[in-house]
Structure 1
Amino acid sequence: MGWLGKVVGGAIGMALGGPVGAVAGAVFGHAFDKDGSELNRDERRELSGNEEAQMTFFVAAFSMLAKLSKADGVVSRDEIESIDQFMTQDLHLNRESRNIAIDIFREAVNSPEPFEGFARQFYATFRNQPRLLEVMLDVMLRVSTADGQFSPQEEELILSAVHLFNYPSEGYLKLKSRYVDQSDTYHSVLGCDRGDSDDFVKKQYRKLVNEYHPDKIAAKGLPDEFTHFAEEKFREIQEAWEHVKKERGMA
């Protein structure tokens, strides 16, 4: 995520608008003042299209998680630990990037910008990448249920994202079952139910393997750290497939 260091160092000008731009401006503007390294505007270049998409992903993701964590009135320790796991184990952020993600989270918690604003801007950037939208919903569910509870306020925000992302309701229910109802986790990971045919399960498995392949994720120009997340999802899919295949007696 080399572009992030350039933003912090002042070598890249901020060109984002909307809620994401407001939070990014507050966070990175503070970094410029703190480091005393802001460059003359004429010496700075603007974000490239790829860098802008990466910035939107980074800021919007942690802003949505901030709003979601505060939805029930209390940001719990379990939720914080779940977000930290997302940063370190899924995205493999280094210390600098992790600290900036924390700053974004803190700024967004107290920001007047609503959750829906961040979700709408996230969708506007990634509307043609449905699996990335699905991953974001998955992370939201993971964080909101980390404390063992899933409040109506939390689900209301996630459902608003489901609507804004144009994500199918049946798909959301399958995602939700991974965290709220663990009775059939492996089938849920594959996007199917226990009652589905073997042929359908195989079809779902092949589709997910193709869409979550780390090489395909990397080719979309997302942060390098996100490819690590794709690799984790890829392994999760493979593990689920092995369990379901064994349970069903499939060759």
Structure 2
Amino acid sequence: MWGKLLGTCFGFMFGRWLGAALGFYLGHLFDKGLKQDFDKVGGFNAFSRGDDLHERQALFFSSCFAVMGHIAKSNGRVSEIHIQAASAFMDEMALHGEDRKEAQRAFNAGKAAEFSLKEAVQDVREAFGRRYDLLQLFLEIQIQMAYSDGHLAAQEQALIQQVSKYLGISHSHFLFVLKRYQAEFQFRAQQQAYRQSQQQHSQQSHHHHSQQQQHNRSQAQTSANSRGQALAVLGLADGANEKDIKRAYRKLMSQHHPDKLVSQGLPPHMMELAKKKSQDIQAAYEFLKKAS
């Protein structure tokens, strides 16, 4: 409103009615941009809820581990792999003492028969309003837990899809995020295998010429597969050009920027998760730059 009002006044002063019309239009663009920035940090709801950063961080933390526990028990019992994955999360966040006990309590609460997935996730959605990047990270963390054994069971996918729905994320975007994480998982595994192969090859430099040719063919195939996975990490198809790659990379890096997510309510302990996401996106982008 103020942008249109001031723009009209100044425009009239310098250009009479034509200037006023132009000033009104420029003021409208200013108001629109200001509103979008205001909405991103929660809008007026942030004031009406008495939006306290520490309270939001505590809610994100406990809800995240509770939902992880619920998903881990989707097939009736929590497997050793899921327990190890939850412990790995805690290690990655350097959780010790009371913080680790709180994460364990939340994880166990999510396994309880009386746990309400809908209520827990909707509380997160209500608390974080229009902080879409943070809601998406919450979903990605649950996908990572379900995918900890390298396989996504039907029950796990159904639960994650419910989480996505309760967060207000569309079905099409859920499929996009799921596909992107699967590509991220596979790309990381391929890169590790490639590095191991390179190390083994350098240690066996006395191999015959035929073995060298076989290694080169294998390396070329790995590179081709990795390019497809790297594109998928950025949410792109095989036909993406350099401009598409750069645009997707910048958008994803902005969405997963740790400092921005912490300012929106991501617990500082979970900053390492956001950093890891950013590193995977960066690795995929750097691979594609070298491959081009």
Task: State the TM-score, normalizing by the size of structure 2.
Answer: 0.62
The residue number in structure 1 matching 2:255 is 211
Matches within 5 A, 1:1-251: 49-89=52-92, 91-177=93-179, 178-179=181-182, 182=186, 184-247=228-291, 249=292
Report the CA distance between 1:191 and its aligned residue. Answer: 2.4
- The two structures, once aligned, show a CA RMSD in angstroms of 2.3
Partner SS, residue 182 of structure 2: coil
Percent identical among aligned pairs is 26
1:141–1:129 distance in 2 versus 1, CA, 3 Å: same
Partner SS, residue 235 of structure 2: coil
1:216–1:135 distance in 2 versus 1, CA, 3 Å: same
Separation in 2 of the partners of 1:186 and 1:82?
24
Which protein is richer in helix relative to its size? 2
The residue number in structure 2 matching 1:14 is none
The residue number in structure 2 matching 1:26 is none
Separation in 2 of the partners of 1:234 and 1:65?
22
Separation in 2 of the partners of 1:116 and 1:232?
28
State the Cα deviation string for residues 125-160 of structure 1 (Å, max 9, x = none): 123222222222222122112234322211111111
Report the CA distance between 1:111 and its aligned residue. Answer: 4.6
The residue number in structure 2 matching 1:22 is none
Task: State the TM-score, normalizing by the size of structure 1.
Answer: 0.72
Report the CA distance between 1:211 and its aligned residue. Answer: 2.8
Separation in 2 of the partners of 1:135 and 1:112?
26
Equivalenced residue count is 201
Q: Which runs of 5+ in 2 are unaligned?
A: 1-49, 187-224
Verify the 8 A CA contact 2:134 2:266 in the aligned structure 1: no
Verify the 8 A CA contact 2:234 2:245 in the aligned structure 1: yes
Report the CA distance between 1:246 and its aligned residue. Answer: 2.1
Separation in 1 of the partners of 2:63 and 2:263?
21
- What letter is aligned with 1:70? K
- What letter is aligned with 1:195? G
- What letter is aligned with 2:127? T
